[in-house]
Structures are given as structure tokens and as C-alpha cells.
Structure 1
Amino acid sequence: MTPAFAQDSYDEYADEYTNPDPWEPFNRAVFRFNDTIDTYTLKPLAKGYNAVMPEMLNDGVTNVFSNLGEPRNLVNNTLQGKFHDASVDLSRFLLNSTLGVVGIFDVATRMGLQRNDEDLGQTIGSWGAPSGPYVVIPLLGPSTVRDAGSRLPESFIGYTYTGQVDHVPTRNTAFGTDILDTRAALLGQERLIRGDRYTFVRNAFLQNREYRVRDGEVVDEF
């Protein structure tokens, strides 16, 4: 028999609990679709990319796209009122774009200026907006309603390289290379997946986003 106080505590927890994945059947279907596309197209291309790219050149490509993301970090840190981090973002962009030869070399990190990864979804979250339900977007992968809703306005703000390059073939080539480079970097992390792939990816994504929105502050809910 369950003690009355224990049952009351459980009922209170159940009332307060919010299911982060109310659309799980739909999300699982999209996850399987994305996983199939990845298995037969993107993953083999990423393996080939790693096989033919010298490590130094691979690092250089990663650094270039990382540097192109600094304006986004700068804008979002400013919107969040984190002006010290914004100054670091600006310094990193200027140093890596000049001394780092258009970002090929990450000289800023060697000088002690660590990268801040920020986006509009994190900014809106820092303003107090809840994440909303978890959602898997076709071809794009894990997200939340809040983060998915921030994608469109972010594309119009113009601080990403895709918003600055007018020449369509160049923009598409850069975007494709960015995706391939990102996927290649994730190949080694697949061995960390345990149990149900969908559940593992969902939980890892949600925990990572919460960590980023709170700037690493862990909230003890117990």
C-alpha cells in the first residue's frame, strides 16, 4: 500500500509535469524519414568528405564557417544584454577575419577569447518564452516550437552568411559545404547513442538547449 503522503506527492508532481513531446507519433515518423535520408545520402558523403580532406584543411573549413557565425553571436548577445560576451564576439570576428586569414585560423581562441554560440531561439528563451513542444522538422532535425519559430525571422535579420551572399550558386555551395562539414564532425559522436535512438536524440537535444538558454546554470527541480 502506498503511503498517503507519497501518493499526494506523486499527484502533485503529475499535475505539474508537462510532456515535452506531445507530438511523439508524428515526430517519430519524421525522425525515421530524416534518418533514412541521412543513412543513404548525407552520412556516406560525410564519410567521403573526411576521407579525402586533410585534417588541416578540414579544420580550416570548420573555422571559416565558425567565424561567419560570429555576427549572429554578437547580435544575440547584445539582445540578451550580455555586452561583455558581445565584445568578445566582435573581437573574435575582427581577429580571425584579419590575422586568421578570413577565418581559416582561429587565432582568437589561442589568445584566450572563447567562442559563444548564440542564436535567436536562445535569445527569446532568455526573455522568458517557454520552449514549447519538441518537434522534428523534415530534413532539419530536432527543434522546439520556440526555436523553429525563430528560424524565419533569423533568416531575414541578415547576420548570417546566407543572408549576405546574393550570388545563388555561391550561396548554395557554401551552405552545402557547411552542412557536410557539420555532419562530418558528428560522425564520431554516434557511438555515444544508447538505447532508442529517437529518445536519446530528443533528450540530448532538449537538455543541451536548456543548458544554452540558461548559460550553463543548472536548475535543481528537486
Structure 2
Amino acid sequence: MDQKRLALALIAVGVLLTGCATAPERGGAANDPLEPFNRRVHAFNDVFDRNIAQPVARGYNAVLPQPVNRGITNFFRNLGEVSVLVNSALQLKPRATVITANRLLINTTFGIAGVFDVASMMGAKPQDEDFGQTLGYWGADAGPYLVLPFLGPSSVRDGTGLVVDGWYDPINSIDDTATLTGMTVLRVVDTRARLLGTTDLLGTAAVDPYAYTRDAWLRRRVNQIYDGDPPPDALPDTGNGQGEDDFDPFSDEDDDLFDNGAGN
């Protein structure tokens, strides 16, 4: 089965599962019927992260000067703008579509393949759209919360979206296996290095890191779908008493991540 047929199959399964999902209840339990499975995957991811991903990411930051580090981050973000552009158009958001198209043009040319974020210097800030958000925009329920091996927090809907977003990823069009593997590994390490600043904060902010991560992630996805202005009844009422509004472990603010220790 080729990638497109696989994605279509996953979309069909996702629609069926999200259609059967129960409405959210206080405490977030209804969003997490897969909790026993999710906790096992979360524990596996935590062991992998502490013993492999974090040490590699810290070494990456220690070796690379911050300007080079930032340039690599900008390069991969520029590649990701392709997916943002497609999903902005699919959500009928003309402003976000135009901004992203301009960012791609400016950064790919004047920014030397995106290494320098010239567009942001000109006031064109990056947008944030993916196919999971597109499905949510058009009314698809998130379905059960789902922790993916290595990838972490997701949902049935957003896991499906990851596959579809892969269609637009320029890296996936690389034919050479060694180059494709190297680019993928570099992107993963760069992403983890940017998030190092949140690791200690998450550990100290939550009595139950799994529940805290789940609830913060669910709230953040709702905020993304509604472009930061969700109606009050759209936000999941987690009721965990852990101050989810005070700290977001999934912040996209790269400057804050670097200031908190991800940079050099």
C-alpha cells in the first residue's frame, strides 16, 4: 500500500473513531479511554528521552554555536512552511495563506534556503497550521487522546494528520536513503534540542507528568484550532488543579525555549 492510500485509510479510521468518541467530562477522563496503553507508551518515551534523546540533544547544543543552531532550526521551519501553506489554504484563511507564501518566497531566496528568517525581521511572523488542525477546523472531533511511540502526545485525528502532512514535506521527496535518513535525524535532534528548556519545568510543574502533559496538550490543540481565541465551552475542563494555564510545555516560542536553556 503506497503512502497516499495508507493516509486515506487512516483518515477513514480516524473519522470513524472520532465519531464514536464520548463528550469531554471534568478531569479529562473521557478524552483518554486509552489511558492504560498511553501510560505505557509515555513511560517508554520517557526512558528513551532521558537515556538517549536528551543526552544527544545536549551534546548537539554543546557542539554547535548558537547562530548555527538557530540557522538549522530556521531551515527546517522553512521546509515546514509548505505544510502550513497547504493547510492555511484548506482552512480558507487568506491572510495566513498569503503570509506563509510570502515567508516561503522571502526566506527561501533572501534567507538562503531558510537559514535566515528574513521574513520575521520584516514583520511576517510564522503561522501555525497542520492537517490535524484542518480536520478540527472543519468539525472533526479529536477523538481519544493517543500517545505515539517516540512522537509523544497526539490524538486519533492528529495522528492521522501527521501522515497527511508528510505528503507536503520536501524531505520526503528525497530519493537518496542516506540523505533522507540524515536529514530526518538532524530534524529530530534539532527539535528535541529546542525543547530542552521545558524538561525541568515540566518535571517540577506536575505531580503526575503524564496527566499534566495530556491536559496541557489537549488545551493547546483547542487553542490552535481556534487561532488562540477558543470559546469557553471548547476548552477541556481538566480540573486537575495543576495550574495548566500557568505553563505550556508545548510552547512554540523558540526564543523562550532558547532562553530557558536550549541554546548555548
Q: CA deviation at 1:101?
A: 0.9
Q: Which residue of 2 aligns with 1:69?
A: 80
- Distance between the aligned counterparts of 2:151 and 2:194, measured in 1? 16
Q: Give the alignment of 1:1-222 within 5 angstroms.
A: 17=25, 19-155=30-166, 157=167, 159-193=168-202, 194=205, 195-221=207-233
Q: Structure 1 unaligned runs (5+)?
A: 1-14
Displacement, 1:184?
0.5
Query: 117-126 vs 211-220, which deviates more?
Result: 211-220
Q: Is the 8 A contact 2:24 2:30 kept in 1?
A: no
Total equivalences in the alignment: 206
Shift of 1:16: 6.9
- Superposition TM-score, scaled by structure 2 size: 0.75
The structural deviation recorded for 1:58 is: 0.3
- Percent of aligned positions with the same letter in both sequences? 43
4+ runs deviating over 4 angstroms = none
With a CA cutoff of 8 Å and minimum separation of 6, indicate the structure with the bigger relative contact order.
2
Provide the C-alpha distance between the structure 1 equivalents of 2:201 and 2:223, rounded to a whole number of angstroms: 19
- Aligned equivalents of 2:184 and 2:225: distance in 1? 26
Larger radius of gyration: 1
With structure 1 as the length reference, what TM-score do the two structures score? 0.89
CA–CA distance in structure 2, aligned partners of residues 166 and 120 of structure 1: 24
Secondary structure in 1 matching 2:232: coil
- C-alpha separation in 2, matches of 1:151 and 1:66: 16
Q: State the AA in 2 paired with 1:33.
A: F
2:136–2:225 contact (8 Å) kept in structure 1: yes
Q: Distance in 1 between matches of 2:128 and 2:122?
A: 18
Give the structure 1 partner of residue 256 of structure 2. none
